[in-house]
Structure 1
């Protein structure tokens, strides 16, 4: 199977938990896309928000080199990863379940961008029922300083200072040239994730979790992005945690974060049930057939 080529984790809830929460309807599948350098033990804490609600959860984090090198230089390596991730739904026969994404930082949002493009353009995936997305600490645009902070945190203290500063210098120069100075030209070859999703946003609802204290992704970037989606008719909501740092909102405010994610999921499922009920009523009422 194509899905075997990527390192992911999928967890199915027990039947009683699913039945208790979803009462005979198909339980949601929540796909969590981790931030650059995220360890699965950290991502699993977020997946428990949903598994405890009887959801199927899929966890995946893109490799560092793909996020910081391939994407920075315009290689669409994550496009094939997006394809493999969506194929997992068919491999485990959950393609008819409602799908929710939980996306972290630019590392997860880069991959989310390609997933959106596949859902919009590929016939196989156009039938998938995506009902919403939670976006944590993303997206950001053209922030070289923030990107350097993210790479510094990802490299960790084990790398020697010489190698560290060499990598940071090379990364800073390349990002500035390709994604800032020359971007008015390079965007015609490869748009960044921020502009690509902003230009062709998906129709499903989005919930943005962010903070003014984030020093990696500017809160103004996220708020500007939210406003752009709203103007295009996308249902968008957000919450500013004010004091928590990058991808640390759950750590600092676990109960509040969990409640907001679960409330968003419940609202998306409620909307889906409403649409299904209206569709069934439309099928049963055949009075429209006589109208010419």
Structure 2
């Protein structure tokens, strides 16, 4: 569907399936934020993990130019996107349901960063009941080589070789100057997604799934994020799949990946049951 220029997909489960899995409790709404260049058919495979468990799912992937250009130059276009995405919950009248995020790579994490900021500061959105987040292959920080690999994969083989070289060179220079060399200064104007979440993390439980073989996101960046959040008192779990390439954990280990995500969602729902029931009683 396209709403206010946003191309997203929303799926509502069969009522009987939801009842069987959630026993009268409001079924979770799972918001999946795709990696840069992610296609609908790819995200749909992850969405089905939750649909089969009776969850509502909303899938959205930020445009390439927003992820690779706007963010690189410090233009906070994704902040507006985050606002529109949360408004969808009200459009479909699911704002009182438990909300769960599944975030992929830096492309998804950049958008997630602005969602977290809105949930912290926006009066309307601060009442949403967020139960947890799964983060897949993210976040990374200041890794120009990894960013170039991500852009190369995103551009694909069909683009003209000369044009590819020019785009990669411009991107590398921009990222290196603004996000590495000048970052001690530019961070006061536009802090990167990694530092923003480290300094003001979400308070709900989080599960980080990553791989030491990832050539786009350094595993050490993920582990440092997990360590920092734990030190801040956030409930955080993590798992290293060790061998898969970037955002390939589900492809290589479908059963284990699905089980870890669903077990985590179930535990998050159990932990938040009391809070959800209290809100439900107040609203009625």
What TM-score do the two structures reach when normalised by structure 1?
A: 0.94
Distance in 2 (CA, whole Å) between partners of 1:262 and 1:137 is: 17
TM superposition shift of 1:204: 0.3
Q: Does the aligned pair in 1 maintain the 2:98–2:276 contact within 8 Å?
A: no
Deviation track 1:57-87 (CA, whole Å, cap 9, x = no partner) reads 0000000000000000000000000000000
Map of 1:229 onto structure 2: 229
Deviation track 1:24-43 (CA, whole Å, cap 9, x = no partner) reads 01000000000000000000
Distance in 2 (CA, whole Å) between partners of 1:70 and 1:129 is: 30
Q: Does the aligned pair in 2 maintain the 1:105–1:137 contact within 8 Å?
A: yes
Q: Does the aligned pair in 2 maintain the 1:3–1:85 contact within 8 Å?
A: no
Superposed counterparts of 1:24-39, under 5 Å: 24-39=24-39
Give the structure with higher Rg (CA).
1
Divergent runs of 4+, >2 A: 2-5, 274-277
Map of 2:196 onto structure 1: 196
Map of 1:290 onto structure 2: none
Superposed counterparts of 1:73-222, under 5 Å: 73-222=73-222
TM superposition shift of 1:5: 2.5
Distance in 2 (CA, whole Å) between partners of 1:275 and 1:68 is: 39
Map of 1:267 onto structure 2: 267
5+ residue gaps, structure 2? none
Q: Does the aligned pair in 1 maintain the 2:36–2:61 contact within 8 Å?
A: yes
Q: Does the aligned pair in 2 maintain the 1:3–1:87 contact within 8 Å?
A: no
TM superposition shift of 1:272: 1.1
Map of 2:8 onto structure 1: 8
Distance in 2 (CA, whole Å) between partners of 1:93 and 1:3 is: 15
Distance in 1 (CA, whole Å) between partners of 2:104 and 2:276 is: 30
Q: Does the aligned pair in 1 maintain the 2:102–2:135 contact within 8 Å?
A: yes
TM superposition shift of 1:275: 4.3
Distance in 1 (CA, whole Å) between partners of 2:3 and 2:18 is: 25
Distance in 1 (CA, whole Å) between partners of 2:4 and 2:130 is: 23
Q: Does the aligned pair in 1 maintain the 2:50–2:262 contact within 8 Å?
A: yes
SS in 1 for 2:7: coil
5+ residue gaps, structure 1? 284-292
Distance in 2 (CA, whole Å) between partners of 1:217 and 1:75 is: 23
TM superposition shift of 1:3: 4.0
Distance in 2 (CA, whole Å) between partners of 1:260 and 1:272 is: 18
Distance in 2 (CA, whole Å) between partners of 1:256 and 1:161 is: 39
Distance in 2 (CA, whole Å) between partners of 1:273 and 1:126 is: 18
TM superposition shift of 1:4: 3.6
Distance in 2 (CA, whole Å) between partners of 1:152 and 1:199 is: 30
Distance in 2 (CA, whole Å) between partners of 1:263 and 1:202 is: 20
Distance in 2 (CA, whole Å) between partners of 1:58 and 1:186 is: 34
Q: How many residues align?
A: 279
TM superposition shift of 1:267: 0.2
SS in 2 for 1:7: strand
Distance in 2 (CA, whole Å) between partners of 1:65 and 1:218 is: 23
Distance in 2 (CA, whole Å) between partners of 1:58 and 1:4 is: 16
Residue 12 and residue 188 in structure 1: after superposition, are their counterparts in 2 closer, same or farther (change >3 A)?
same
Distance in 1 (CA, whole Å) between partners of 2:232 and 2:43 is: 31
What TM-score do the two structures reach when normalised by structure 2?
A: 0.96
